[in-house]
Chains A and B, each alone.
Chain A
Amino acid sequence: MLTSKRSDRALPTFISLLVIGVLLMTFDVRLQGGGVVGVLRSGTQTIVAPLQRLSSYVVSPVASALDSLSNVASLQEQNATLSAQLAESQAALVAVQDQLAKLQLLEQIYDLETDEDALGRTIANVIGAVDAALIIDKGTRDGVLAGQPVIDTNGYVVGTVKSASIGSATILPIIATREGLTVLVGSQTGTLVSRAFSSELGLEMDLDVFDAREPVLAGDRVLTSAASTDYPAGLPVGEVLADASPESTSLTTTVRPFVDPAALRFVVVLAWPPDPVTAATDDTLPEVTTTTVDGAETSTTATTIQEDG
């Protein structure tokens, strides 16, 4: 029952907690997520992750059903578009398979060694989300470490691992990171910056090319650059939304990332860089494997980590 009695200690307690809160925020900024803050994060994740995983098994179908209901109209339209794209992709696949067969034949003839993809991959379920961050059900036990790049099952860039505990990890998508991402558009290197810290919130990002030599066109693909220290080179990030020409020596345009983090159910964590010594010069494009998800989520939680030979 309600009581009209008020404690005089409420105000001092409130002020004390506010001060503690601001101090914690300052510590977090100063420590940049490391040190005690990192330990606290991984400790909390370790405790809560099993409950989140359990809850995810129950609520995932409910969440998917409710999300689908809200998107019925657009889903029909998307279905038609995807069917057309599938037909085109199947035709392209047949052509690529022909080329692969020829390539293998030539490799056999000339006795060439194939360049095996050395990147380990961990496929993980997205079991939750807090703010823009995603929580996955794989952690340090599965080889997931803070700083590793994350892609979706189509190979598109999602973001990086912000923190990892034994059984779970937090993914920070590129659209919510403060740091710019070094990318490649055509032959030009630019920086992709999130709009999370501007007044225009949305999925789009800003692309700045400071040494622009040629215009970029709408539809141009944006890839990760070899100059990036966070991602392997050549991963698709997004596409340019509007044409832009160099003004003086710089160029600015808008890019829409291929991945909407809110719609993700599975992600792939890359064990990259495979070797810190070679990381700086690594320009390999990881072979992207397509993961088929046929309803049952448990069938896709297998972890595949290949040791770097």
Chain B
Amino acid sequence: MSDAILRRASTAAAQGGIGRLAPLGLWMATALLFALLPLIFRSGTALTVLSLMGIAIIFALSYNMLLGQTGMLSFGHAVYYGLGAYFTVHAINWAIAAALPIPLIAMPVVGGFAGLLFAIIFGWVSTKRSGTAFAMISLGLAELVGSSSLILRSFFGGEEGVSTNRTKLLRLFDWNFGPQIQVYYLIAAWCLLCMALMYALTRTPFGRMCNAVRDNSERAQFVGYNPQVVRFLAFCLSGLFAGIAGGLASINFELANSALFSAVQSGNVLLATFIGGAGHFVGPILGAVLVTYLQNMLSDVTEVWQLYFGLLFIATVMYAPGGLAGLIMMHGPIWRAGALAGLLAAYALMLLPLAAVAVGAILVIEMMTHLGVKAAEGTIMKMGGISFDAKSGLPWLLALALLAGGGALARLGWGYLAAAWDRAQGIARDKGLTQ
């Protein structure tokens, strides 16, 4: 094992200059991608979805500073997102009224500071505890703030919220931020900046102490750090970035309302982060992109998209707790060892039975939906261009046959896949790429 580490260290040293430049290149590529995306996806919907993805990425990354980096499970992260949004909206309105020379691009800072301020207040209370107690306090605080927002009407604007006009602020380079494309670039720029800052934070000694507190807070204490302080600082910084995300959201919608505080919002960011993978920095980014895409696209295809969403989450928790990023990273050493080809063959073999199970499950869910919620429309339904009667026996038989047959085949194939996986791992181990 130590041999492998030495060998890897020496190759890293040999690559020296290139190794240090590679991350910079990656960031440049990301910036280029952000700049080019609107040229590739030109439609109005695509631009809206891309803007939402940018906001979701910041929000999910800020959430992962708690869940993934420091090991704190929060059910109330939307509090800082929502407060950031409200303070940004009020700041914009105030700047317009007082004719202050502040450009719109600076406004998310206000949201960030609002998030930070309230994270300091609420964090002081909640980070005294960790684990389940922390999760419960975060839930309680979220309910508290959510309910208060409906009581304090002068600030939160009651049910309809507070609206604003992003085009009335000081113009830089003649951008008035009326068109969505300009808002997209504003969000993209902030997204890139926040991603870089949050990544840099994971590389600092503080970031490492967060990981230490997550893994074993007692031993972190022995090294001379107070876990409570580390948790508190992580919580405050996470609130800061959540506030920026909220500020961007309020600029995007030109509105802040109490829905921003809802349990749905807090739940979504948790789902996105976990599905993407809390263990890796790219995980929440993947999750935010995927979940935003599904929310906007799946809802056109099926009425019960949230059910699929929930099932996807449960499947992730049960079978891939590392999330998407974890699944991908698992294959890194195998790929470097050149053993991926054999594994891909096994995956291809599993594809058919798993697809059968998925199709069967989708059929059952859609037929249930049709007979339940949409009973008024009659029993004839259409899926994939084929019309059939949801009350007749044949489609149900077919669905159950797909489920059972696919399930049985998947069970058979599982052993084969496990053997292929062990083989590939073995090759990677022999080449000293894994322990």
Say if A and B assemble together: no
Q: B residues within 8 Å of A by Cβ?
A: none
